Amino acid sequence: MESRNKKYTSEHVISDKAFDLINSELHKGNQWMAYNTASYFLDKNDVCFFNNKDEANDFAESNISEYDNYRVIKAISIADVFTQIPYGDQRLLNQTNSITQKTNFMNQKNFEYLSDQVKFTGFGEGLENELKEKMQKQTPEFQITHNTKFGNEDVNATLHFKKSDQTDMYFFNRYQVSLQPEQSKDKMEQTFYINKEGSITLKEAYNLMNGRSVNKDLTSKEGQVYNAWVQMDFKQADNNGNYKLKQFHQNYGYDLVSTLEKHPIKELTYEQDKTRLMDSLQKGNRQSVTFIQNGSEQKHFIEANPQFKTINIYDNNMQRLSSKQGHDERQGQGEQQTTKQNAKNENKQGDADDSDAMPKASSKRRKKQTNAIS
Q: pLDDT tens digits, residue range 194-204?
A: 987 679 999 99
pLDDT band at 258 (very low <50, low <70, confident <90, very high): very high
Highest averaged pLDDT of the listed ranges 103-112, 190-199, 237-246 = 237-246
pLDDT at 348 over 50: no
In a 3-state reduction of DSSP, which class is residue 226?
strand
Give residues with Cβ within 8 angstroms of 327, minimum separation 6: 262, 263
Highest averaged pLDDT of the listed ranges 42-46, 103-107, 330-334 = 42-46
**Cβ-contact 355, 253 below 8 angstroms:** no
Rounded to an integer, what distance in angstroms lies between the CA atom of residue 246 and that of residue 253? 15
Q: Which pLDDT score, from 0 to 100, does residue 135 have? A: 94
DSSP strand pairing (170-179 vs 32-36): unpaired
Burial class (CB in 10 A: 0-12, 13-18, 19+), 22: buried
Q: Nearest Cα to 202, choosing from 187, 189, 217, 192?
A: 192
What is the distance, to the nearest Å, from the Cα of residue 13 to the centroid of all Cα atoms in its chain? Answer: 35
pLDDT band at 361 (very low <50, low <70, confident <90, very high): very low
pTM, whole model, 2 decimals?
A: 0.65
pLDDT at 245 over 90: yes
Q: Which pLDDT score, from 0 to 100, does residue 323 have? A: 62
DSSP strand pairing (153-163 vs 70-74): unpaired
Residue 57: Cβ within 10 Å count:
15
pLDDT band at 93 (very low <50, low <70, confident <90, very high): very low
**Cβ-contact 62, 50 below 8 angstroms:** no
* Average pLDDT over every residue of 32-50: 87
CA angle 185, 199, 282 (to 5 degrees): 70
Per residue in 88-119, is it b (16+ CB within 10 Å) or e — as a string?
A: beeeeeeeeebbeebeeebbebbbebbbeebe
The percent of residues in the chain predicted with pLDDT above 90, rounded, is 51
Rounded to an integer, what distance in angstroms lies between the CA atom of residue 136 and that of residue 20? 20
Q: Round the average pLDDT of the chain to a whole number and report it.
A: 81
Per-residue model confidence as pLDDT tens digits over 275-309: 999 999 999 999 999 999 888 999 999 999 999 99
What is the distance, to the nearest Å, from the Cα of residue 314 to the centroid of all Cα atoms in its chain? Answer: 28
Residue that wins the pLDDT comparison between 32 and 335: 32
In a 3-state reduction of DSSP, which class is residue 44?
helix
Q: How far is CA 99 from CA 21, 92, 361, in A?
A: 17, 10, 75
Q: Nearest Cα to 327, choosing from 254, 268, 266, 264?
A: 264
Residue that wins the pLDDT comparison between 219 and 363: 219
Per-residue model confidence as pLDDT tens digits over 126-159: 999 999 999 999 999 999 999 999 988 999 999 9
Q: Where are the domains of the chain?
A: 2-91, 107-252, 256-346
Q: Which pLDDT score, from 0 to 100, does residue 326 have? A: 54
Strand ranges for 153-202 from DSSP E: 153-163, 170-179, 188-193
Q: Which pLDDT score, from 0 to 100, does residue 345 have? A: 47
CA angle 224, 227, 228 (to 5 degrees): 125
In a 3-state reduction of DSSP, which class is residue 302?
strand
pLDDT band at 254 (very low <50, low <70, confident <90, very high): very high
pLDDT at 67 over 90: no
Indicate the DSSP class of residue 270: S
Q: Which pLDDT score, from 0 to 100, does residue 128 have? A: 96
Rounded to an integer, what distance in angstroms lies between the CA atom of residue 289 and that of residue 300? 5
Per-residue model confidence as pLDDT tens digits over 174-190: 999 999 877 778 899 99
* Average pLDDT over every residue of 205-227: 92
